Amino acid sequence: MSTFIEMHAVGTSVWLDYIRRDLLEDGGLADLVAEGIRGVTSNPSIFQKAIADSGEYDDDIRAALAEDPDATVNDLYESFAIDDIRSAADILRTVYDASDGQDGFVSLEVSPLLAGDTDATVEEARRLWAAVDRPNVLIKVPATDEGVPAIETLISEGINVNVTLIFSLAAYEAIARAYIAGLEKADDPAGIASVASFFVSRVDSLTDERLEAVGTEAALALRGKAGIANSKQAYRLYQELFGEESFGHLAARGARPQRLLWASTSTKNPEYSDVLYVEELIGPNTVNTVPPETLEAFRDHGEIRGATLLHGWDEADAVIAGLAEVGVDFDEVTAQLIEEGVEKFADSFRSLMAALDEKAGLVRAG
């Protein structure tokens, strides 16, 4: 049995955090699906590397400009991104159908430049949803204060949503409640899909910096523990929010819980295991989206030790409490992370637009 199929048997679906034209056209994604990969995520940074840092899309740029010489760089980007998302969705459609709409999704993000504008986010999400026109697509919306009401609106309209850049329990609870409120407003909540992308390794990276600045023995002993602890607390909250008592009335109408998706699962610190954020976050009804290098590492030497998410909750509480005891403000850490996360994606998007503008200029100049 494949490692990824075995993980799914324990409850965690493995998705690939990567998309590029050659992966879709040379059978690479289809091979991964056969091996047990059950979805794909993308973000502006991934598309920036795929489109701007390679020549794979140059012929498409020429063809698009030949057809419409006045096409903007955003027109070019969306045409390539939507084509790739459709192709990935079609490859994953067998998974979507076989899982009755539980897996088999591919994600496309609204422009990160709209993260502070609720109405603009909703309008762009609606437009992208209609343009892609696939049932197994998730439109990504960031978990900003302005994103929360957008999520409720989109879910109420039957648009699948991947809520991204979640770092704190407070942000997670807000978006989970927005999802539930959207389901309650929907004419038919059955079939509406959503995941909550809870980031992990970035939490450790910034928290470790704060701990090292404190420098005491007690502080240094907490390095590399906050990301997993924060995630396990989120999973416990997930069980409360989507338990029979609180979610049963919607489940009776065919609604599904909004699954937690573990994102940012590549290990940034080489002192830590390169499969740390996969092995420690396995449990019922979850997703782990992994970049290619983490996928390779887990395939090679990852261990499945059962549902690790169901254990170590007391230790997780002790870690988060310990941060405050040594003088690290964890709320401040997670607030900084959401701000940096939005800006990082915005920077990637701007870089992508600049690269496309340069390539389009070269084409127009012959």
Looking at beta carbons, which pairs linking 20-25 to residues 24 or more positions away fall under 8 Å? 20/46, 20/50, 20/54, 20/56, 20/84, 21/50, 21/56, 21/57, 21/84, 22/56, 24/84, 24/87, 24/88, 24/91, 25/87
Cβ–Cβ under 8 Å, residues 151 and 177? no
Which residues are catalytically annotated?
A: 140
Cβ–Cβ under 8 Å, residues 156 and 188? no
Enumerate residues 6+ apart whose C-beta is below 8 A from 300: none
Tracing tokens 């900003």 back to the chain, one arrives at 144
Cβ–Cβ under 8 Å, residues 60 and 71? no
Angle between helices 201-214 and 330-364 (to 10 degrees): 130
Enumerate residues 6+ apart whose C-beta is below 8 A from 166: 143, 172, 175, 196, 197, 198, 199, 234
